[in-house]
Structure 1
Amino acid sequence: MERSRIAVAGASGLIGSALVRSLVSDGHEVVRLVRRAARGGDEVCWDPERQYVDAAGLAGCDAVVNLAGAGVGDHRWTEAYKKTMRDGRVLGTAALAEAVASLDTPPRVFVCGSAIGFYGDTGDGEVDESAPPGDGFLPELCVAWEEAAAAAQEAGIRTVFARTGLVVARRGGAWGRLFPLFKAGLGGRLGDGRQYWSFVALHDEVAALRHLVDTESLSGPVNLTAPQPVTNREITAVMGRVLHRPTPFAVPAPVLRVVLGEMAGDVLGSARVVPKRLLESGFSFAFPGIEDAVRAAL
């Protein structure tokens, strides 16, 4: 990639901060969207819930990457928190899409965050980008999130939806919660452990996002998951082996439902999602297997 000017929303999050480090280390100019007054040319003020973006600050950007949104697993899904998750993603995406569409010279690509939650519980069957949305809160959220980018698509900007899986990282995301439990010898399978988890190493997530920016042939939904989804039972075994800890515990489904509430349905649900379009476009994973990904995170 030639030296580019790239705007990143959600630059302080797990994925966004890693993406920014990667881009800056390769000499690219990164513009961060911040929820306060901008302090220089490398910042743009925005307020996703109020649908405000200082569009002038995005002028000259070759790409805009939107990774903003409250964490799905950060809190119990009360109605208030579900509104927070939805508003940040849907209103923020709509505001960014309208901002880039309004520019005299718009960016060549708008990469919009999304998630494999789009597919819902798909059981044991493999699903790729051609699968329809599932039922429930997360699929409905992902559909609305992607639809919110309509202004950018209608303006002719190449728009890509990065449907990300469970990111394997030492801090943050699902594994940020799993690692301390397993290190303490308290890790174990969730429910019967037969549900598929579609994971992706943080290194590969960042590389895939950059691939989406660079690959002119890609638009629409692209699954950002490793090519070998595994069951929760297999993940439990790998975590125990890598961390040299026993994994005697199992959390029964009824207990998860009491502790997690509505979110338990997604923890216990199965999503065997494969990155068909990513692989077809020539992307190569550095950490395709779960043990590779866990060791890389550590």
Structure 2
Amino acid sequence: MELSRIAVAGASGLIGGALLRSLRADGFEVVRLVRRAARAQDEVCWDPEAGYVDAAGLAGCDAVLNFAGAGVGSRRWTDAYKKRIRSSRVQGTAALAEAMASLPEPPRVFVNGSAIGYYGETGDRVVDESAPHGQGFLPELCVEWEGAAAPAERAGVRTVFVRTGLVVARQGGAWGRLFPLFKAGLGGRMGDGSQYWSYVSLHDEVAAIRHLMAADGLSGPFNVTAPEPLTNREITAAMGRVLHRPTLFTVPAPVLRAVLGEMAGDVLGSARVVPKRLLESGFSFAFPDIEGAVRAALS
């Protein structure tokens, strides 16, 4: 698919910011959705939590990429913060979908963020995109989040849901917090370390999004995770090897629950998720193993 003008929501975040830089480096015209009055031609005003988008600003865009949302791991999940997490994703996605549907010529593709939190706790069971959603806050959030894109789908916009795993990056996300601890020699497994973590390098995350955006005929959910999930214990050992640091410390599950509250379930839970549809679409990972992903984040 030939694309030239692309709108990015969440361009100040980890994934959206990396996307913005990658697309502009390759010569695409990129417009950013901003939470204030637009001040330049490459800006479009929106307020995701209020459900507002300046639809006229999306006119002429070939694609809309939405990776906006309050950070799931940024703070303890109080009732108020859970409401913010939900509204920033669900209402923001609905506003974008409705704005696209209102245009005489809507964009050709809508790539919307989601997460492997869709599946909930999977234990040792390997799950792909055919698996049902789980139970709890994150699975229910992901179901609503993806469902909010329905107006765009009904308007004929090819719609893709990127169910992202734990992104290996220095700049943010789970690894943004892990790297300083491991560099200081304070890293270690969480709980008993047997829980599976489905990770992906930031490089591969961006490449996969661009692949899904450009490939005609691809729609629906795609897991964006490295092909082989690993246990927290295995990842801890790999971090120690790459950083040449000991990994002797262990954070017991009760301590994590006391510090993180409900969010501890996401850290201690097991999600053994594989990117079946992404691999079938012909995508090739640059950093399929954890040591390569960690080195890429540090380089």
Q: Tell me the TM-score normalised to structure 2 length.
A: 0.99
Write the letter of the residue equivalent to 2:281: S
Counterpart for residue 13 of structure 2: 13
Find out whether 1:135 has 2:135 as its counterpart.
yes
Counterparts of 1:42 and 1:171, CA distance in 2:
24
1:125: Cα distance to partner? 1.0
Rounded Cα–Cα distance in structure 2 between residues aligned with 1:55 and 1:164 = 27
Q: Please tell me whether the aligned partners of residues 196 and 231 of structure 2 are also in contact (alpha carbons under 8 angstroms).
A: yes
Q: Decide whether aligned partners of structure 1 residues 131 and 217 sit closer, same or farther in structure 2, where only a CA change above 3 A counts.
A: same
Q: Provide the residue aligned with 1:295 in structure 2.
A: 295
Count of matched residue positions in the alignment of Structure 1 and Structure 2: 298
> What is aligned with 1:234?
234
Tell me, in whole angstroms, the C-alpha distance in 1 between the residues paired with 2:106 and 2:262: 40
Secondary structure of 2:110's partner?
strand
Q: In the TM superposition, what is the alpha-carbon distance from 1:72 to its structure 2 partner?
A: 0.5
Instruction: Provide the C-alpha distance between the structure 2 equivalents of 1:218 and 1:118, rounded to a whole number of angstroms.
Output: 20
Matches for 1:90-129 after TM superposition, within 5 Å:
90-129=90-129
- Distance in 2, matches of 1:171 and 1:31, equals 22
Matches for 1:156-235 after TM superposition, within 5 Å:
156-235=156-235
Kept after mapping to 1: 8 A contact 2:226/2:288? yes
Aligned to 1:216, the other structure's residue is in SS state coil
Q: Which runs of 4+ in 1 moved over 4 A?
A: none
SS of the aligned residue for 2:61 comes to: coil
Aligned position for 1:46 = 46
- Superposition CA RMSD, Å: 0.7
Task: Write the deviation string for residues 244-268 of structure 1: whole angstroms up to 9, x where unpaired.
Answer: 1101111111111101100111110
- DSSP-derived class of the 1:218 partner: coil
* In structure 2, C-alpha distance between the alignment counterparts of 1:70 and 1:195, rounded to whole Å: 25
8 A Cα contact 2:126 2:273, kept in partner: yes
Mapped contact 1:3–1:27 kept (Cα < 8 A):
no
Q: State the match for 1:154 in structure 2.
A: 154
SS in 2 for 1:100: helix
Question: Mind listing any 5+ residue stretches in structure 1 that lack a counterpart?
Answer: none
**Distance in 1, Cα, partners of 2:201 & 2:49:** 30
| Structure 2 counterpart of 1:252 | 252
3-state SS, counterpart of residue 189 of structure 1: strand
Asked whether the 8 Å contact 2:3–2:62 carries over to 1, the reply is no
Alignment partners' CA distance in 2, 1:284 and 1:147: 28
Aligned-pair CA distance for 1:198: 0.3
Q: Distance in 1 between matches of 2:229 and 2:186?
A: 23
- Residues 255-274 of structure 1 aligned to structure 2 (within 5 Å): 255-274=255-274
Aligned equivalents of 1:264 and 1:64: distance in 2? 33
Alignment gaps of 5+ in structure 2 = none
**Residue-by-residue CA offset, 1:74-121 (whole Å, 9 max, x unaligned):** 000000000000000000000000000111111100001000000000
Answer yes or no: is the 8 Å Cα contact 1:3–1:29 preserved in 2. Answer: no
1:49-73: per-residue Cα shift (whole Å, max 9, x none)? 1111000000000000000000100
